[in-house]
Structure 1
Amino acid sequence: MTEKPHRRGADRTEAIMRTTLELGQEIGYTKLSIEAVAARAGASKQTIYRRWSSKGALLLDSLLSLNEPTLDYPDTGDIVADLRAQIHSAVDLLGRPPFGPLFKSLIGEAQNDPQIAAALNEHLITPQADKTVARLKKACDQGQLSRAFDLDLAMAILSGPLYFQLLITQEQLTYEYVDRILDALFTGMGPAQAAKPSGPVA
């Protein structure tokens, strides 16, 4: 039986993305090229350019297609536990090749390439931020969080220290660091406690 065209196309796309990750890990993003990917994957440059406008777009799709499921949130009813589990998973993902080193390279490329910045925001940053805010909102509706807290700001406070350590100081992200962020954030983000009487009741 002849293989169906759409199956052949899916297999070719998967092979191209797998090759992109392999080559990116071997030679780094700077030396990565569409020509090199095409040669190893056994595809033409035209085939690749029909699907992706640049190596940055190709790398972004490759990273997302192979790793995106690990970035979903659990929902156990405990907002702190769910945030901790999701962020620990993200730390694991960012700490291992090929995703971690290539993601950092992609962030760097986005500073000089508006198209990559837009694609990164559209396909990864914004969807993840929306998932975080949605999970925080549900916890707020359940009374686990203060209704007065700005949820978009909470998302930024959660992610900011991680990007700072990953990209600026380039220290290793650890579970302990994540837990410190959560402890600091939820000290001020929890629901208000009823004030206790300061003296004896008459």
Structure 2
Amino acid sequence: MRAYLARVDAVLVQAVIAAALSFAHLHDLASAAGQDGWKAWAYPVSVDLLLVAAWKRLRSGSSRAAGWCWFVVALVASLGANVATAGLLDLADVPAWLRILVAGWPAVAFLGGTLLAHTTPATQPPESASAQLTESERAPAEPQTFSAAPETAGPPAEPEQPAPHVPAALVNHARKLADDHHARTGSPIDPDTLRARLGVAAPLADAIASRL
């Protein structure tokens, strides 16, 4: 965190120094070109505002050509003032072409700022309704087919019930009852009698009778 703050502080200090020097150079050049008083102080403000407007247009991602064009114009004006005031130009005898450039700068800056600030960025056309449909919605609906159930003459057949489980001990007990019934009556025991003697359900009684 401290390293980050130190880096930010260094960047801010550097930015303030660069802005102050550029501001002063633009003021000195405008003053030498015949723009005295408050007008000399307005020139660096105009250049910096055009730089900021062009940079914002570049960051927005729209109309980048216009952004780069006006960014280069403002940068050339700032660098030109820095170089001109470095001793390469006699500020006591500024040439006429430079006086013309300085005098015409407000109109150029106004035009650039207006175009950058009030030009509506090109927007993409809204997607059509068909483009917004999902893949499932785009797929054609499959026709639904209905198969008629075969007609039957009678009621539907009931599903077969699985054979009940018959424990071996219950079969042995039923065999004893059947032997006793045969000894007393002389005839095999029938399923109804076996069911009554065992006290079980009819399906279980039938399954036991089939094993006797």
TM-score by length of 2: 0.25
Larger radius of gyration: 2
Structure showing greater relative contact order (alpha-carbon pairs closer than 8 Å, 6 or more residues apart): 1
